[in-house]
Amino acid sequence: MTLQEYDYARERPSKLAASCLLLALTMKNLGGWTPTLEYYSGYCSQDLHPLVKRLNFLLTYQPHDKLKAVRTKYSHRVFFEVAKTTPMDMLKLEETLKS
């Protein structure tokens, strides 16, 4: 989804990937940012929080009339229908990231 948004082009790919992983872990209740993830990614959880919130916002308020190719592709079961995943409530995300 970020490939279609110019605002994310200035983010480092490694930080964007780490933030996407943290958001996915949070959305699926699979745990938080572990010391191992921090060591290998080079990012602590607090460094990723602003970008995680922006990513969730992107999922929440995505335009439905333009650029449907990526959404259509990742809505297929071959890609586990990840484009159909419901974004987290912003307040719940905030609470989860603080804990």
pLDDT digits (tens, 9 = 90+) for 40-49: 999 999 999 9
Is 56:93 a contact under the CB 8 Å cutoff? yes
**DSSP-based three-state secondary structure for 62:** coil
C-alpha distances in angstroms, 97 versus 1, 53, 65? 22, 9, 31
According to the model, what pLDDT value does residue 83 have? Answer: 82
- Mean per-residue pLDDT, 75-91: 89
- Mean per-residue pLDDT, 19-47: 95
According to the model, what pLDDT value does residue 3 have? Answer: 80
According to the model, what pLDDT value does residue 99 have? Answer: 81
| Residue 73 DSSP one-character state | H
CATH classification of 2-98 is 1.10.472.10, yes or no?
Answer: yes
The backbone torsions φ and ψ at residue 8, rounded to the nearest 5 degrees and listed phi first, read: -90, -5
